[in-house]
């Protein structure tokens, strides 16, 4: 019963490097999203997807790309990492139904950009 | 523009007493309000929710109250237990262009003292 799996758990990057944060869910959820958590800021939505092949921007999308080629996977790409992207990243998923109003979260990826 | 605010960064409560966590919001289009609980190094987990058409929802030791006229909700935990020590996030759901989005508050760190 894996739920939402995020890899890696920790990552250190140098400014300008690129990397992909992986997210996979095994609950056949249509809706997936990425958040970042910063001190005093709560969780802020980066990108989201309502189904395979469909993605859209959230509140803080700059510097991040996403794609959704399958229902299960929703990777987040940092093309050129910046120190401002140091944060804890959470992936979440849920059914895209009006009654399914809460999301399941992964354990997070702690990213440091030097 | 912080649409969901938790003005208390931290709260300390004696074991067995009542814990009250507060949350204010500004957008009257939110249709569901949720509380998430987060332990260190884990993702947020859903705790309890309330529809915007109700004023109270109870689940065991947890009760959420919604005051729509004041745009205020609160989470009551009674009696408080040491395992309740965690960060609590208030979140509000809104539908935009057919996609549900959660807007989170900054979080309140609850510490239950034995």
Looking at residue B100, its pLDDT comes to: 77
State the smallest CA–CA distance between residue A36 and chain B in angstroms. 11
pLDDT digits (tens, 9 = 90+) for A54-63: 999 998 999 9
Mean pLDDT for chain B overall:
94
How far is the C-alpha of B55 from the C-alpha of A67, rounded, in Å?
A: 39
Greatest Cα-to-Cα distance within chain B, rounded to the nearest angstrom: 48
- Band of pLDDT at residue A103, cut at 50, 70 and 90: confident
- Band of pLDDT at residue A101, cut at 50, 70 and 90: low
Dihedral sign (CA A77, A79, A80, A82) = negative
Hey, are the CB atoms on B98 and A50 less than 8 Å from each other? yes
Stretch 70-99 of chain A: residues touching chain B, C-beta under 8 Å:
90, 92, 94, 96, 98
Tokens of A88: 């804890």
3-state secondary structure A26-53: CCCCCEEEEEEEECCCEEEEEEEEEECC
Hey, are the CB atoms on B45 and A105 less than 8 Å from each other? yes
Best A93, A102, A104 member to test B by mutation, with max B CBs in 10 Å, is: A102
For chain A, what percent of residues have pLDDT higher than 90?
82
For chain B, what percent of residues have pLDDT higher than 70?
99
pLDDT digits (tens, 9 = 90+) for B22-72: 999 999 999 999 999 999 989 999 999 999 999 999 999 999 999 999 999
How far is the C-alpha of B37 from the C-alpha of B14, rounded, in Å?
A: 19
Question: Is residue A18 a contact partner of residue A26, using CB atoms and an 8 Å limit?
Answer: no
pLDDT digits (tens, 9 = 90+) for A29-51: 999 999 999 988 889 999 999 88
CB burial readout A49-71, b (16+ within 10 A) else e: bbebeebbebebbeebebbbeeb
For the cut 70, the answer to whether the pLDDT of residue B76 exceeds it is yes
Question: Is residue A72 a contact partner of residue A58, using CB atoms and an 8 Å limit?
Answer: no
């Amino acid at each position: 019963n894996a739920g939402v799996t995020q890899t890696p758990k920790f990552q250190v990057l140098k400014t300008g490097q690129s990397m992909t944060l992986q997210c996979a869910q095994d609950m056949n959820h249509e809706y997936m999203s990425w958040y970042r958590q910063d001190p005093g800021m709560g969780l802020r939505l980066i990108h989201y997807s309502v189904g395979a092949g469909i993605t859209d921007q959230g509140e803080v999308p700059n510097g991040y790309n996403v794609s959704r080629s399958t229902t299960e996977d929703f990777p987040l790409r940092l093309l050129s990492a910046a120190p401002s992207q140091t944060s804890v990243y959470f992936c979440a998923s849920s059914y895209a139904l009006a009654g399914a109003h809460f999301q399941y979260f992964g354990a997070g990826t702690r990213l440091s950009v030097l | 523009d912080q649409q969901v605010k938790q003005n208390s960064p931290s709260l300390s409560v004696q074991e067995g007493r009542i814990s009250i966590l507060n949350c204010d919001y500004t957008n009257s289009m939110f249709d569901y309000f949720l509380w998430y609980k987060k332990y260190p190094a884990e993702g947020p987990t859903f705790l309890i929710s309330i529809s915007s058409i109700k004023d109270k929802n109870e689940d065991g030791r947890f009760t959420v109250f919604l005051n729509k006229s004041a745009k205020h909700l609160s989470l009551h935990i009674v009696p408080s237990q040491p395992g309740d020590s965690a960060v609590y996030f208030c979140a509000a759901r809104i539908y935009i262009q057919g996609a549900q989005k959660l807007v989170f508050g900054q979080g309140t760190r609850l510490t239950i003292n034995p």
